[in-house]
Structure 1
Amino acid sequence: MQLNLQYSIIQHITKTTGLQTIWLYDGISLPSAKPFVTVEQMPNNTTILSKQRETIQTTYRFQVGLYANSASERAKLQDRLKSAIMFDRITIYDAENTPTNEVGYFYAQITGETPISPEDISDKTKYHRIYFDIEVDATLHKGE
């Protein structure tokens, strides 16, 4: 499920905003050309909903980063990106087997928006960025 959700979020952001969207993982280099978006997995929470562990609910968390060229561009793109995540029904793809195969849809929730200043002022890639914390809840039944 984790793989399918992250892949689907990346595809949705790319299609709806037209922004280059990068799957963030250990060792990846960020592009110097902005604007672009990153999507990174964050810690998930799982709750057991039945005594026999037949039903569980997992809250999948992701951090979506927006890197812009200026504060005004960031503000404009921030609104566009926020709308795409909060209001759109996001198609879920089977990224594990056939990435073009649509297997359903989900909605995501933004739980936080945090603008971040660069740690190193010489690193211009990290100027004008903001991060969205998003969550997707999924209930799974034994055998799915």
Structure 2
Amino acid sequence: MSIQQYKHILVPIDGSQESELAFEKAVAVAKRNDGAELHMVHVVDTRAFQNISSFDTAMVEQVTETAKQTMDKYIAKAKEEGLDNVAYSIEYGSPKVVIANDVPKDLHTDLIMIGATGLNTVERILIGSVTEYVTRTAVCDVLVVRTGLDNK
């Protein structure tokens, strides 16, 4: 019997504390899984721009630039931790679908490590949490991270 080895780990990054915890644990899991690839994804929710009268490309470019700066910091942090096989992408669309289906299929992801949602109960009922959707519909294993490296 062989031990389950994850080769392609995906961690969505959205700037929240929850995604920070997921990133930290994903680095640790990638290291334990003998140099697994860690891929971070940030999804720019294009639906958020639909209400703006003229689709403002400058605004999208600003959001993208901010995301790139954040991702570059995470890449540096992962490399400091001794992880070489690390990359990121910035995608556009519905975060739920991109994280649960599109990116995992493209990258042959076998584990998604996602932060627990910060939404309250009413918000979850009205808009549904990305985390909840991903755990229900993802094409691979999903680990919802609720705690830091010390499991607190």
- What is the TM-score of this pair, normalised by structure 2? 0.26
Task: Give me the TM-score of the superposition, normalised by structure 1.
Answer: 0.28
User: Which structure has the greater CA radius of gyration?
Assistant: 1
Which has the bigger relative contact order, CA under 8 A and spacing at least 6?
2
